[in-house]
Structure 1
Amino acid sequence: MPTSLLAAVRDHAAVAEFLSWPGDFDLLGADHGEPVQLASGLALEAFAGDGAGGTFFFCGDGGEERPVLYADSEGSAALLALGLPDLLRLLLTAPWWRDCPGFTAEESDARAAEYLADDPDLYTTRDAVAALLGLTLPTPAEALARLRQTATGPGRDYVLIFTPEGTPYEALIS
């Protein structure tokens, strides 16, 4: 068994494939494309990307327990999780998180229905991937509530700066 969750993602094709779609998370897409830094001065390490040019960053020093910030390609950013396990739970449970601006159960249920229409085996595959990673999953409503609480609570201290101009990214989640 891999010693880290990132190693597990790399080592299990089924895990990497599910996280790639529907999770929109790819370990090969870690180049953000523009110079950024955290306003606090904490270290910032890009480790994955998404299909729309967004980037997932670890914040600070350490391993997979570090907070995870997401920056899209349009100049918005948010702290999504307080560690890689939390991020993976979100991506496995509610990969449609970007399509739920109100973070409501109704929005989540509507998006889930769309995903299930495209892939009726979505939950079966997701549960198998979670088992491979050794993760227990929250409900989608719980995952979205935790995302919002993280982004609007501790996330206020993680401001991403476009380095050349010294300007902050917009809050992706408010």
Structure 2
Amino acid sequence: MITLDDIKSNPAIVDDLDWPFDFSLERADDDTDWIHLKPNHSFTIVAGDGTGGVFIAYGQGAPESLPILYATSEGQAGKVASNLSEWLALLMAIPYWRDLLKFSGNGDLEEMRKTVPFMESEYATDFDDVPAARERIMNELPVPAVADPVQILHTNVHSTDCTVVADDGCAYETLFNSFKSADNPNWR
């Protein structure tokens, strides 16, 4: 199992995870007053991203062994991985995971799969630093191979057993969005 200390001990890996994977250990904000989990669990913010979202390990035990909940700054939350190692495997396999959830047709696995080729093409063109960063990370950390990362992400978000509750008492919405790949005019 990959630990936070394994990552933190290698500044180059910390940098690669920050960009291009937008998983920044340095953005793990110490201000947790706004986070209220339902049901109530102890938690640790393990990382943040450039949009103000946070990755939260919740439950009892070492943070790297706990489920990972992602909470956006716009009021969505959901479980994205069963532990840190699985999350890193998903990041390496589908760095465009947010787009898969956005274009999921409200959580439809087949709709997510339709989005993959479009995102692969966009990432090959617009994020040419991903392959080298992925290779460095995979060479330094024992990131497990995952046979079907889209299925794993889909299953994790559908099995969300914990969410964030806003100060007004409203629970955060699901990470799944209603868009479909056909809704993007550039993907036709």
- Same fold, judged at TM 0.5 (above): yes
Determine the structure 2 residue equivalent to 1:92: 92
Q: Percent identity, please.
A: 30
**Structure 1 position 137 matched with structure 2 position 145:** yes
Shift in Å at residue 4 of structure 1? 4.8
Offset of 1:124 from its aligned partner?
Answer: 4.5
Offset of residue 120 of structure 1: 4.2
| Secondary structure, aligned partner of 1:48 | strand
1:138 counterpart SS class: coil
Aligned length: 167
Contact 2:56–2:70 at 8 Å: present in 1 too?
yes
Q: State the superposition RMSD in angstroms.
A: 2.1
Instruction: Give the counterpart letter for 2:35 in structure 1.
Output: V
Q: Deviations over 1:65-116 (max 9, x none)?
A: 1010000000110100010011111111111111122253331222122222
Offset of residue 18 of structure 1: 2.1
Match of 1:53 in 2: 52
Which residue identity is paired with 1:160?
A: V
Cα 1:118–1:44 shift into 2, 3 Å: same
- CA deviations over 1:28-71 (Å, ceiling 9, x no partner): 11226761211111112212100000001011111111010000
Q: Among 154, 159, 164, which residue is 1:160 paired with?
A: 164
**Corresponding residue for residue 9 of structure 2:** 11
Asked if the contact 2:20/2:133 (under 8 Å) is kept, the reply is no
Larger mean CA deviation between 15-24 and 115-124 belongs to 115-124
SS in 2 for 1:173: coil
Partner of 2:83 in structure 1?
83
CA–CA separation in structure 1 for the residues paired with 2:59 and 2:128: 39
Give the aligned residue type for 1:148. Answer: H
Gaps of 5+ in 1: none
**Partner secondary structure for residue 143 of structure 2:** coil
Deviation at 1:21, TM superposition (A): 1.9
Structure 2 residues without counterparts, runs of 5 or longer: 178-188
Distance 1:34 1:99, change over 3 A: farther
TM-score for both structures, normalised by structure 2 = 0.79
Equivalent of 1:110 in 96, 115, 118: 118
C-alpha contact 1:75 1:169 (8 A) present in aligned 2: yes
